[in-house]
Structures are given as C-alpha cells and as structure tokens.
Amino acid sequence: MFFGKKRQVARIESLIGQHTEIRGDIVFTGGLHVDGHVKGNILAEDEGALLTVSEQGEIEGEVRVPNIVLNGKVIGDVYAERRVELAGEARVVGNVYYHLLEMSMGAAVNGKLIHSDGKEKAALPHLEGRDGDEAKAE
C-alpha cells in the first residue's frame, strides 16, 4: 500500500447497469462504470478519464483509456496510458499495455503485460481520421 499518495478519482458520469448489454463502441469522458456487458470497444476521449468494471461487468472488445480499475472480465487488449488496477476478481483474455500496474492476488491475465513509459500516445489515438481497422492493426 502506498501511504501519503492521493488517488485521482474521476466522478462517475456514466453507468452501464448489471442487467444491461451494450452492442457497439463506447466513447466517453470523465468516469464510466460497467456492471453489465459491453460487446464493443471502449475509448476515452480525455486524459483524466477512468473506467471501472465491477465483478459482474464484462467487456468483449478493445479498451483504450488512461486509467482502469478492473474487477470483472475483459476479452480483448487493454491499453492504459497511465494506470491499471487489477482487483482480485479481474480476468483479462488479451494483452495489457500499462504505465503503472497494481495487481491484487487472484487477478489473472491470459496474455502479455507490456510496460510503456507513458510518453507514447498510442493508448489514446485521436478520434479524427480513425477508422475501425486502425484500432486492430497493432
């Protein structure tokens, strides 16, 4: 545990409820909390954005956010420009690209953990001129 450090907390502005399924890509700013099921990619537009996924939450698609707190399941690659927190029930089937990583006992990644220096902007591509194939071409 890190004493004396304050965590940045983004206000949750969007919520996907436990009995909700979203089919399609989600682009958000601020905070997004997922209790339900998302079949599509998730992309944050701002540098302070935070995605949280509860134990019941599941994402089937690529995730590109600055910060993520995961306690559910992601089937796809996770790109976090700043911070990844994998809680005890977290499951990732794919690669995790991170700058800072916190991983609790019980969390599992079926893929590679790939560190970046945080200077790369590949984790947050510009939306302008972005087509669907570009996100998968890495």
Backbone φ, ψ for residue 94 (5° rounding): 155, 180
- Dihedral of alpha carbons 104, 102, 89, 9, sign: positive
pLDDT per residue, tens digit, the chain (138 aa), is: 344 444 555 678 889 999 999 999 999 999 999 999 999 999 999 989 999 999 999 999 999 999 999 999 999 999 999 999 999 999 999 999 999 999 999 999 999 999 987 655 444 444 444 444 444 333
Q: Where are the domains of the chain?
A: 12-123
Cβ proximity of 95 and 79 under 8 Å: no
